[in-house]
Amino acid sequence: MTQAEPSSSPRADADPGNSLPRHVAIIMDGNGRWAQRRGLPRIEGHRHGVDTVRRTTEKCAALGIEALTLYCFSSENWKRPPVELDFLMHLLEQYLVEERRTLIDNGLRLNMIGRRDRLPAGVLRELEITQQLCADHTGMQLVLAVDYGGRAEIVDAVRQLAAKAQRGELQPDAIDEAMFSEHLYTAGLPDPDLLIRTGGDMRVSNYLLWQISYAELWVTDRSWPDFREEDLMQAIQDFSGRQRRFGGLVPG
């Protein structure tokens, strides 16, 4: 993983060149710590983080990135205090309503990955409405990972394939990596080229475990509410300067 130094000069006008990532995935970490450092309740960090989501989404869309996947709520986050959980679910529902204009104005599509059986009915209702409003869009796909866990996703894919094999719809020998990918939540999306993590922790936290096998990793100490356009551009600029060999050798 690359540990990024805080940006000391604006990079918003940097040219990412021809190596723009098709798919950017972000672990939006540090909301609670951001608030606590300011003597605020943890929920205020989450509230301020929504503004960063809007700015980052608009910038990625303007750059021409095909997909942006945001780690909004992990399957392990249910261990948090009930008051914080209630606020997070309310904030998600509010986001799906209030950010419709951002999605529509930018021609974005919306998807949500993860298990849905524990999500409130209000969240699922607003998700369906927002998806319908964006169904005909052809711009960047914004993917929200909610009640998401990489291991759970892999287990769900295995269960689907096992059920098909049990029904005689496929032979186990026919299962390959491409078929397995088609049974993941992210089916139809390119794998992430660039994984960004805010908050400074050097781990992937059960996020897109299959899909990030060859992603370039970029970590910053900035908490998510402090993540700015220049930080995004620095991550993309660093990505564009790396050699991606995928296990092979660079000619010459």
Across all residues in the chain, what is the average pLDDT? Answer: 92
For residue 23, the one-letter residue type is H
Given its phi and psi angles, is residue 38 left (phi above 0), alpha (psi -120 to 50 degrees) or beta? alpha
Would you tell me how many other CB atoms lie within 10 Å of the CB of residue 10? 12
Which domains, and CATH codes, for the chain? 22-240 (3.40.1180.10)
pLDDT value, residue 13: 42
Model pLDDT for residues 104-147, shown as the tens digit of each residue: 999 999 999 999 999 999 999 999 999 999 999 999 999 999 99
Residue 178, pLDDT > 70, answer yes
Model pLDDT for residues 179-220, shown as the tens digit of each residue: 999 999 999 999 999 999 999 999 999 999 999 999 999 999
Model pLDDT for residues 6-40, shown as the tens digit of each residue: 443 333 344 444 589 999 999 999 999 999 999 99
Annotated binding site for Mg(2+): 29, 216
Annotated binding site: 29-34, 42, 46, 74-76, 78, 80, 197, 203-205, 216
One of 15, 18, 29, 176 is an active-site residue; which one? 29
Q: What is the pTM of this model?
A: 0.90
Active site residue 206: no
